[in-house]
Each structure stands twice: as structure tokens, then as C-alpha cells.
A = this chain, B = another copy of it.
Amino acid sequence: MGKASRQLNLAFIGFGHVGRAFARLLIGRRAWLGRELGVECRVTGIATLDHGMAIDHAGLPLDKILRSRKTGSNLQRCHNGPACTTTTDFVRQCGADVLFEMSVLNLTGEPAATYIREALGAGLHVVTINKGPVATQFRELTRLARLRAVRFLYEGTVMDGAPVFNLVRQTLPASRILSVRGILNSTTNYILTQMEQGASFESALAYAQEQGIAEADPTLDLDGWDAAAKVSILIQAMMGGSTKPSEIRREGISEETGKLVRAAVRRDRRVRLVARAYRQGGQLIGKVEPEELEMFDPLASIRGLSNILILNTDTMRELAIVENNPGVEQTAFALFSDLVTLLRRPQA
């Protein structure tokens, strides 16, 4: 507050909807960042999968890049630095203090994990919204961050910008997470809600794809992989376990589920794709499967794209956090809140 201003250099891997929303948020909160944290952020590098990359150690013209529709030619025009042929090169050359990793989800965690390892190893803080590397290489990456005395943050991997990891770290001191239960995948919840209102699985899915809610290949969502990756992250980051996504008991939703949904509605109940993690005989068990719930179950009232996470703790018993119909701005806010976390506490 009123601290002398210092420069902070940021780099992005990925510059799709989320990256652009985050860039807008950074511009909109420029004054707040200066006033509250004494920093002035500039973006010194942007690397994309399809549109090349740009580096400028004096700061890229973010406004101009955002205004342009043609990200590709624009990035190339703005480039004013060392030539990079690979993203790993980019990480080494971008001159950033913080890397924001927003590349596309791949359950193997690669290539994102390689970029993150490279950045942490070079002493950059890393913020990611990418579940793959966090779920598959949690220990290795957090250990590397600790070793290099930088932060590795991933608020956006579960429930977008709703505080989950920041909530537990910063507002639930000395608390042990005994178990968690929730709805963590928006696409399947959207389809389930549509089906309970009478839509068929196919039409609900087609509509979700049309609206940009579901991917062209929706397998990772429908088969429960996305939710399983999130459960794995919750277990590793908050419960001290090491359960990997492939070890989560997993059942997704399909055409078949429609029958369950309609039968449940007739009994005044609701089907939800429930994600759980709990301790059993010294082990941490993770599960993702459709469950029929009573109407007064807090999960039953979660409709559409909304998410809920119920934490069962030894201090606060059950505490739930609900995110209502998130969009791309809410994911961007996860990146922003992690940026603030690492500025306030640069060491874990």
C-alpha cells in the first residue's frame, strides 16, 4: 500500500479466450496493482500454439494485441527479441518473473509440464490453469518450486476463479481436510440439467457444443476424466495424498444416463456427476460417478454450468463453496488471484 513501484515481467503460454480475458483484467486492475501491491506489470512474452510467439523485454503492447483480430501476424510484428524456435526456448528467453501457463489440457501433463519445469528451474514463479501437469506431476513440481524458492500456483485448475486452494491456505488455518464432495465439471452438469428438463443426451450435447460449453471432442468431460483430474489435484494439494487421475474410480455420463435422470425426476430426485475424495484405512480414495440425490442435497440445487465443492474439515465441519455459471472471465480471475497471492507471499 503506497509501496514504491517495481516492475514485474509476465509471460503467457497460450493466448486464447482465457489469456485474452486475463490480459484485459491486468489492464483493468493496473491502478489497483500499483496502489495495493506496488507493482507495475508488463507482459514481455506471449507464446501461442497456432499463432507463433513474441518477446519484447521492454513490454509488449497488450492493448494493441488485444484490439487486433489477427493474433498471429500481430504477434510477429510486435516481436522484438531473440529468435525462439521452441516453447522451451521461449521460456528461457522471455525475461519474465512469472510464467502463466494456459496451454490446452492434455491428461499426460505434457508438454505443459516440461514448460513449467523449465520455468521453475530458471527461477520463475509459475501460475497454471492446466490440470494435466498439476495432477500428474504434483510432487515433482511443488518440490522444484520450493527448491528454487518460487511459487507454483494452480487456483484455476478446480472451479475456475472460485477460491479453493487460496481458501484453504489463507482462510482455514490449522485445518485438516477430512473429505471433499462436489460437482466439478460444468459440461456434464449442464447436460444432466438439460436432460432433467426433458432434452435428450444427444441434443443437450449438441447444444452445449454449439454454445462453446463442450469441446468438439467432449470425451474428457463425458468420461469423467476432467473431474477425476480435479479430484486428484484436491487429494494431492489439500489432503496429503498422491492419488493420480488414473487411480480415481471413474464413471462418466452417456445416453444411458438419460434413463437414470428421468427416473430420478419422477421420484423428485436429481442425478449429478459427483466427485468425492475421502480417507479409508490410511488410504485416500477418489471417485467420480453419477449419483441419485435427494432434492435437499446441496448438490441437487447446482444446475447448469455451476460448480460446488463441500469441504469436510476438523475445524469448520462442512463448508461449501459454490460458483454460479462461470465463464472465461472467472477462469482469468484465477490467474489474477494467484498473481496477487505470489506477490503477497513470494515464498510458500
Contacts and interface: CB of A to CB of B under 8 A. Distances in A.
A173 B29 CA distance: 10
B301 A315 contact: no
A20 interface: no
Interface stretch (A72-80, A84-92, A326-334): A326-334
A322 to B, nearest CB: 4
Given A163-B171, A163-B172, A330 B303 contact: no
Contacts of A170: 166, 170-171
A264 interface: no
B161 A315 contact: yes
Interface residues of A, number: 42
Nearest to A173: B340
Contact of A162 (B25, B163, B310, B316): B316
A318 interface: yes
Contacts of A322: 298, 310, 318-322
A36 B174 contact: yes
Interface-central residue, A29, A171, A315, A326, by most chain B CB under 10 Å:
A171
Interface string A293-320: 0011110110100000010000111111
A98 B161 CA distance: 34
Nearest to A333: B315
Contacts of A295: 295, 301
A325 interface: yes
Contacts of A315: 25, 161, 329-330, 333, 336
Interface in A10-49: 25, 29, 32-33, 36
A137 interface: no
A32 B172 CA distance: 13
Contacts of A161: 315-316
Contacts of A329: 315, 317
Contacts of A333: 315-316
A172 B337 contact: yes
